[in-house]
Amino acid sequence: MHGIIINDQEQREMEYLLKREMEEITFDLGDHRIDTGIKRAMEERYDVLFQIFRRFGSRKECLQYMPKKKKEN
């Protein structure tokens, strides 16, 4: 486990970067031209980014960016 000390401005920047990256991934997941294997890796990355975002974002924002449930085949 690692710790990090950041100021308010750095926290806001981290939130912004995480939101932007998660939004890009969400957008790209809707692209039918992307291979399913790549999409699976993108979903895993989204999950990691969301876990980090949970440490910074408000409850309302976290609910907005919460990963969608995966459908079982």
Task: Give pLDDT tens digits for 25-41.
Answer: 999 999 999 999 999 99
Cβ atoms 71, 63 nearer than 8 A = no
Answer whether residue 71 shows pLDDT above 70: no
pLDDT at 1: 80
**Stretch (H or E) spanning 36:** helix 36-53
User: Cα–Cα distances in Å, from 65 out to 21, 22, 35, 37, 52?
Assistant: 11, 8, 23, 22, 12
Q: What is the pLDDT of residues 37-53, one digit of tens each?
A: 999 999 999 999 999 99
How far apart are the C-alpha atoms of 47 and 30, rounded to whole Å? 17
The pLDDT of residue 4 is 86
**Tens-digit pLDDT profile for residues 57-67:** 889 999 999 98
What tokens does 37 get? Answer: 């294997």
